[in-house]
Amino acid sequence: MSWPKALHAKKLFLASKVSSTGRDAGQRQIAASFKDLQSERIDLMQVHNLQDTETQLQLLRELKEQGKVRYIGITHYLDSAHERLLEVLRREPLDFVQFNYSIGERNAERELLPFCADKGIAVLINRPFQRAALFDRVRGKALPEWARAELDAGSWAQLMLKYILANPAVTAVIPATSKAHYMADNLQAGHGRLPDEAQRRRIIELFA
């Protein structure tokens, strides 16, 4: 697929990950990302799931120094890895971190999110729907009227995303979908009002 140049240059924030062990394998995978994205510059490169973190971060630092990558970061998707993410963030000057956070997985609220807010580290949130498992908790239930009236949320998905976006440490949330109509639904969460603390507690109760 070829991307329209104007869109590429102005509108897209290009992000990719490296999930390799060893410097040579990391270099090959990163080179493939540049080729696949058809770009000489990538906005964000991340070390995937803390795999071979030291070696891969060294590579990413070099690319940042050369101006080929704007920001660098690390990722994981499990609560059990949050402490390891924090250990890396405490010792390395990183721009971004990506981890799991949702109504069903709120461990990040204890330490990771406050730490990132305090240090000014950008936060990407993965697994916002717990890979769709959260939809099972509300299946057959009507979206409460106050979700629309008070928060401009038009679907359960939007309510779940607004819960996440309301945390001041969160920079962006990255829901996955293979369907254009889900993408359009999810994008709406970026509009309108976000819940305050009391409203966030009411949202949690809906999923209990």
Ligand X SMILES: NC(=O)c1ccc[n+]([C@@H]2O[C@H](COP(=O)([O-])OP(=O)(O)OC[C@H]3O[C@@H](n4cnc5c(N)ncnc54)[C@H](OP(=O)(O)O)[C@@H]3O)[C@@H](O)[C@H]2O)c1
Stretch that binds ligand X, among 31-39, 61-69, 143-151, 177-185 (CB under 6 A): 177-185
Residues 19-48 that bind ligand X (CB under 6 A): 48
Phi/psi of residue 74, nearest 5 degrees:
-130, 160
Stretch that binds ligand X, among 7-15, 27-35, 179-187, 199-207 (CB under 6 A): 179-187
Choice from 76, 163, 170, 195 touching ligand X (CB under 6 A): 76
Q: Does 178 bind ligand X (CB under 6 A)?
A: yes
Task: Give the count of residues interacting with ligand X (CB under 6 A).
Answer: 25
**9/187 with CB nearer ligand X:** 187
**35/179 with CB nearer ligand X:** 179
Using DSSP's 3-state secondary structure scheme, residue 205 falls into helix
From the list 122, 31, 25, the residue with the least C-alpha distance to 69 is 31
Q: Which residues contact 115 (CB under 8 A, 6 or more apart)?
A: 86, 89, 121
Q: What is the residue-wise DSSP string for 47-108?
A: EGGGTTHHHHHHHHHHHHHTTSEEEEEEE---GGGHHHHHHHHHHS--SEEEEE--SS--GG
Q: Does 179 bind ligand X (CB under 6 A)?
A: yes
**180/198 with CB nearer ligand X:** 180
Residues 103-132 that bind ligand X (CB under 6 A): 126-132
Dihedral sign, Cα of residue 16, residue 18, residue 23, residue 27: negative
**Rounded Cα–Cα distance for residues 103 and 97 (Å):** 19
Kindly list the residues in this chain that would bind ligand X in the complex (CB under 6 A).
17, 48-49, 75-77, 98, 126-132, 135, 157, 174-179, 182, 185-186
